Amino acid sequence: VAGAIHLTIGRSLRNLGRPEEAMAPLDRAVEQLAAAHGATDPRVLEARLERAVADDIAQRVDAYGERLAALATDAAGLPANDPVRL
Q: Indicate if the pLDDT at residue 78 is higher than 90.
A: no
- 44: Cα separation from own chain's centroid: 7
- 68: Cα separation from own chain's centroid: 10
Q: Indicate if the pLDDT at residue 54 is higher than 70.
A: yes
pLDDT in tens, 2-45: 999 999 999 999 999 999 999 999 999 999 999 999 988 989 99
pLDDT at 85: 62
pLDDT at 81: 81
φ, ψ of residue 49 to 5 degrees: the values are -65, -45
Residue 46 to residue 39: CA distance in whole angstroms: 11
37 close to 50: Cβ distance less than 8 angstroms: no
